[in-house]
Structure 1
Amino acid sequence: MASISRTNIVSWLFFSLLFVVSSLALSRPLVESSNTDQMYCNWMTKHGRVYKDSQEMAKRHKIFLENVKLIEDFNAQKDVGFKLAVNRFADMTNDEFRASLTGYKMESRVTKPNAGFRYSNDTNPPESIDWRKLGAVTPIKNQGSCGACWAFSAVGAVESINQIKNGKLVSLSEQQLVDCDVDGTNNGCNGGFMDDAFDFIVKNKGLATEEVYPYIGSDNGVCNDNKTLMVSATITGYEDVPGNNETALEMAVANQPVSVAVDAGGFKFQFYSYGIMSGFCSTQLNHGIIAVGYGQDYDSGRKYWLMKNSWGDNWGEDGYLRMAKDITYDEGMCGLAMIPSYPVV
């Protein structure tokens, strides 16, 4: 039997894609189909999308077009203060997005006595701060399709406080939490809670580095005990910021990056591109991020929180998000002020 060349395979894939997209275009006006089909093909190439069959491609193409319309309609509004963009989540429904990209388990939170709030007397915080510029924030990471945002939020806060206290910034292991922090409420890629992650780190007497225990984006239920012994950074505990109090949160962030839970399930989060997120947002907390600063936009005068996310550096502002600060509601934008916490060294 003659072998199939690489060129023939590539050609077959190209014409298969062309057939599917052309078939989809028959039900739409020529100009519209030409523009959107080209956009979709370019998007697939950029993000390396490969679907199992033509039916799946047709389904994803339809979702893509619906999301593009949603984004365009939103961006057409005036004086909103931020923009959305067609990103790597554009072929996902919002339900699919929430299921795979969030993972904070609000329902599993156990109320514990607060160990205190050590920054309560810091009543004159700076007007702005950016811990990135102070060398206390590791590069943006990517949790992939694993709902381990809780681990990324907790680990990021631990990385920062160790740099602030010890002068050395080291990327620590989220995978260690995903694999090993399983005896309580935390459940790997199925979600967890930052405070419980801090508890685990204390009991384990620290975390290994990312290099020693690298992230794989999945949980197989196996904890590598040998790697967990190779501790690189430790904490002695954690404290909760007084809830529903942006002033208290500012006091805390002025001293160190803080783990924050937000409602990231809406389309604003899914397609956020740049600017200061504002407007209506639910407070059904489902995602862990890190407040790494705050400030005021020079052009608009709007105050904002600077948040580090874990969806890669091709989301938002190079992986970061600015959210409206000091809003009318005590809970803060998307609930960001409800239950923040920070590790203690």
Structure 2
Amino acid sequence: MLLILGTWASKAMSRELHEPALVETLHEQWMAHYGRTYADDAEKEMRLGIFKDNLHFVESFNNDSSQTYKLSINHFADLTNEEFLGYFTGYKLPDNRSRSSGENKPFLYENLTDMPPSVDWRSQGAVTPVKYQGQCGCCWAFSAVAAVEGAIQIKTGQLVSLSEQQLVDCTTDRGNRGCKGGYMVPAFQYIEQNGISTESDYPYQGTDGLSCQAGENSFGSSSTNHISGHEEVPANSEEALLQAVSMQPVSITIDASGQNFKMYSNGVFMARDCGTDPNHAVTIVGYGTTEDGTKYWLLKNSWGETWGENGYMRILRDVESPAGLCGVAQHASYPVA
């Protein structure tokens, strides 16, 4: 049986998962599907126990008919939540820099009132395929690059995949720490001054500690892989965020701590275990409303296409909290092409 949850889950989950032999079989299938190997039998036994816990968690959640979204046994299924957050997130504010509230700062779209009811920048050709950061905490680089890719495409009509590795290697002197975490604003500032290479010219390695391979000002202000500036969206305002996203993809921070976030599969995410202490960075590439009237943001993540809705998440929009669900409206910024 092919282990792809969604197809596989609806059948496998209905079986008696408390049976050790069945769980072991499902784990073996999962390992084969995702190419997972372990150092020895002791590690395999330990990972099997974590896999079982996650399997039961997903089964219990998906059996609750009141939920608006589903979970799945994805490629994170043998990781504890602590391990997952350590490997696959990575938003960290640089040392000696306070978070800006975005107040009393320029905001290009502050007077915009005629926003369309829905936007999907993928259909406008402004979003590259979903990428995978691997076990490198540089979500900040993927978030920034996706926003820059979108801004350049909207301005020039050309969609080009750009280099996250360049930001990992070349922004350490601006307070970012490569795979150990960072923030999008220093990344935007670097691109303003130096431009950014294409993915093919400066491919992703998924590691830090490498020498920066791009010389200062090597791309020049006339480069198409260049931005003229960046702005921060006024904090704690989903309305301001809507104004910005209606015009271009926007980088945001988010709290991805909950186990539901890790195992998200499809539907409009309305987690009950979601806080507002950001530890991850993604890019909002649209928004809309479901047929039953539920408003959502469309997030592009950097965990590959096997997570979520082919690498994307729809998350509840217009909640009572000013910060938005999981803090989506706390720290948003975008490049100016």
The root-mean-square deviation of aligned C-alpha atoms, in Å, is: 1.8
Of all paired residues, the percent bearing the same amino acid is: 48
* Residue 70 to residue 227, structure 1, CA distance change in 2 (3 Å): farther
- Given candidates 84, 97, 104, the residue that maps to 1:97 is 84
In structure 1, what is the Cα distance between the partners aligned to 2:173 and 2:290?
44
Residue of structure 2 in register with 1:243 after alignment = 235
Q: What's the offset of the Cα at 1:228?
A: 7.9
Q: What's the offset of the Cα at 1:179?
A: 0.7
Contact 1:263/1:334 (CA < 8 Å) preserved in 2?
yes
Please tell me whether residue 187 in structure 1 is matched to residue 177 in structure 2: yes
- Given candidates 276, 281, 285, the residue that maps to 1:288 is 281
In structure 2, what is the Cα distance between the partners aligned to 1:326 and 1:115?
23
User: What's the secondary structure of 1:183's corresponding residue?
Assistant: helix
In structure 1, what is the Cα distance between the partners aligned to 2:288 and 2:181?
31
Single out whichever of 208-217 and 260-269 deviates more from structure 2.
260-269
Matches within 5 A, 1:109-148: 109-111=97-99, 115-148=105-138
Residue of structure 2 in register with 1:65 after alignment = 52
Matches within 5 A, 1:261-300: 261-280=253-272, 281-298=274-291, 300=292
Contact 1:188/1:219 (CA < 8 Å) preserved in 2?
yes
Matches within 5 A, 1:1-12: none
Single out whichever of 265-274 and 89-98 deviates more from structure 2.
265-274
Matches within 5 A, 1:187-266: 187-204=177-194, 206-225=195-214, 229=218, 232-266=224-258
Residue of structure 2 in register with 1:312 after alignment = 304
In structure 2, what is the Cα distance between the partners aligned to 1:95 and 1:31?
24
Contact 2:94/2:182 (CA < 8 Å) preserved in 1?
no
Contact 1:212/1:227 (CA < 8 Å) preserved in 2?
no
AA of the residue aligned to 1:248: A
In structure 2, what is the Cα distance between the partners aligned to 1:279 and 1:203?
39
Any runs of at least 4 consecutive aligned residues in structure 1 with deviations exceeding 6 A, and if so which?
none
User: What's the secondary structure of 2:23's corresponding residue?
Assistant: helix
Give the alignment's TM-score, normalised by structure 1.
0.88
User: What's the secondary structure of 1:49's corresponding residue?
Assistant: coil
User: What's the secondary structure of 1:79's corresponding residue?
Assistant: coil
AA of the residue aligned to 1:80: Q
Q: What's the offset of the Cα at 1:128?
A: 0.4
Q: What's the offset of the Cα at 1:111?
A: 4.3
Residue of structure 2 in register with 1:56 after alignment = 43
Residue of structure 2 in register with 1:43 after alignment = 30
Q: What are the superposed Cα offsets for residues 84-106 of structure 1, whole Å, 9 maximum, x if unpaired?
A: 00000000000000000000004
Residue of structure 2 in register with 1:153 after alignment = 143
User: What's the secondary structure of 1:291's corresponding residue?
Assistant: strand
Single out whichever of 115-124 and 80-89 deviates more from structure 2.
115-124
- Given candidates 147, 166, 170, the residue that maps to 1:176 is 166
Contact 2:251/2:333 (CA < 8 Å) preserved in 1?
yes
Please tell me whether residue 77 in structure 1 is matched to residue 70 in structure 2: no
Q: What's the offset of the Cα at 1:209?
A: 0.3
Residue of structure 1 in register with 2:10 after alignment = none
Residue of structure 1 in register with 2:9 after alignment = none
Q: What's the offset of the Cα at 1:136?
A: 0.5
In structure 1, what is the Cα distance between the partners aligned to 2:193 and 2:297?
31
Q: What's the offset of the Cα at 1:294?
A: 0.3
Structure 1: where are the runs of 5+ without partners? 1-28
In structure 1, what is the Cα distance between the partners aligned to 2:226 and 2:189?
11
Q: What's the offset of the Cα at 1:107?
A: 6.7
Q: What are the superposed Cα offsets for residues 114-172 of structure 1, whole Å, 9 maximum, x if unpaired?
A: 64111011112000000000101011000000001000000110000000011100000
Q: What's the offset of the Cα at 1:76?
A: 1.7
* Residue 107 to residue 222, structure 1, CA distance change in 2 (3 Å): closer
* Residue 31 to residue 331, structure 1, CA distance change in 2 (3 Å): closer
Single out whichever of 274-283 and 155-164 deviates more from structure 2.
274-283
Contact 1:208/1:227 (CA < 8 Å) preserved in 2?
no
Contact 1:104/1:191 (CA < 8 Å) preserved in 2?
yes
Larger radius of gyration: 1
User: What's the secondary structure of 2:210's corresponding residue?
Assistant: coil
Q: What's the offset of the Cα at 1:227?
A: 10
AA of the residue aligned to 1:99: G
Q: What's the offset of the Cα at 1:232?
A: 4.8
Give the alignment's TM-score, normalised by structure 2.
0.90
Structure 2: where are the runs of 5+ without partners? 1-15
Alignment length (residue pairs):
315
In structure 1, what is the Cα distance between the partners aligned to 2:185 and 2:265?
29
In structure 2, what is the Cα distance between the partners aligned to 1:96 and 1:228?
38
AA of the residue aligned to 2:201: V
